[in-house]
Amino acid sequence: MSAIVSFEFSPPKTPTAEETLWTAIRRLAPLKPAFMSVTYGAGGSTRERTHATVKRIHEETTIPPAAHLTCVAASRAEIDEVIRDYWAAGVKHIVALRGDMPGMEGPYRPHPEGYESTPALIAGIRAIAPFEVSVSAYPEKHPDSPTADADLDALKAKVAAGASRAISQFCFVTEAILKLRDRMARSGLKIPLVPGIMPTTNFKGVARMAGKCGASIPPALAARFDGLDEDLETRKLIAAAIAAEQVERLRREGFDQFHFYTLNQADLTYAICRLIGITGARA
């Protein structure tokens, strides 16, 4: 069974970062991903840069772009303008998210004139144009969610509003992904669950990210990176092996789509894709 991959990038903040980003995009595009998504900063802080990057992917590559869009810090009118601009630019896929508050500080508060939730945002997107809409899913529970059942109810509401794909938060506990897939099936949710794969070269940095989003770090995983702070090359080899192992386990369990959080670095993601047999050649 062949695998389908997609890649996630962040909009650049500087000319140097933009050069790094486009080096990564050009390196990974020949692998023929299903799409390339571009994130939206906390509080909508990267709105213009996200739009510019998505539009450039559409214009300069053959890979369909997907634009992240959040509810926070903007009115419905402002968000609807962004949605219409994407459709007019030829961008047909949005990753709809609740989003984080500016500076990622404090609990979520909807804009007084904005979309109050992800399902409301999805409904607004669908009212404007027939976008493909992807949403997030959480194998280990969203930090703001009281229970895993509440998380599942939130996902059901997103699907009812028009979501067609769920991309998981990165998760190193493969069993949690399998359990979420099974719970979705028992609940009658038929949209694909696409596991999010996070390369782990900068293990300390990924551990910090995991702490913010509620993702567990298995002790066995941490042990593989122990004592390698000054050994980048070994960390790269281990990171590629870990991600490839996880993908192959998930493939044996029936998954055939995977979303890579690239952190705007191409080499590790490229190596992992090659390890799992993604070469860019399609039958």
HSE at residue 164, side-chain half, CA atoms within 13 A, is: 9
Per-residue pLDDT tens digits for 86-104: 999 999 999 999 987 665 5
Which of 202 and 275 is assigned the larger pLDDT?
275
Q: Does the structure show a pLDDT above 80 at 105?
A: no
HSE at residue 11, side-chain half, CA atoms within 13 A, is: 23
If DSSP states are collapsed to H, E and C, what string results for 155-209?
Answer: HHHHHHHCCCEEEEEECCCHHHHHHHHHHHHHCCCCCCEEEEECCCCCHHHHHHH
- Structure confidence at residue 106 as a pLDDT band (50, 70, 90): low
pLDDT at 5: 98
Residue 199 burial (C-beta neighbours within 10 Å; 0-12, 13-18, 19+): buried
Per-residue pLDDT tens digits for 77-86: 999 999 999 9
Whole-number average pLDDT of the chain: 92
Smallest CA-to-CA distance from 72 within 20, 35, 115 is with 115
Per-residue pLDDT tens digits for 38-76: 998 765 567 789 999 999 999 999 999 999 999 888 899
Q: Does the structure show a pLDDT above 90 at 183?
A: yes
Q: Domains in the chain, start-ordered, CATH in brackets? A: 4-275 (3.20.20.220)
pLDDT at 109: 82
48 is catalytic: no
Element at 123 (helix H, strand E): helix 118-128
Per-residue pLDDT tens digits for 113-149: 999 999 999 999 999 999 999 999 999 988 888 999 9
Its pTM stands at: 0.94
Per-residue pLDDT tens digits for 215-262: 999 999 999 999 999 999 999 999 999 999 999 999 999 999 999 999
Q: Comparing 26-30, 57-61, 105-109, which segment has the lowest mean pLDDT?
A: 105-109
pLDDT at 171: 95
pLDDT at 126: 97
pLDDT at 112: 87
pLDDT at 1: 59
Q: Does the structure show a pLDDT above 70 at 283?
A: no
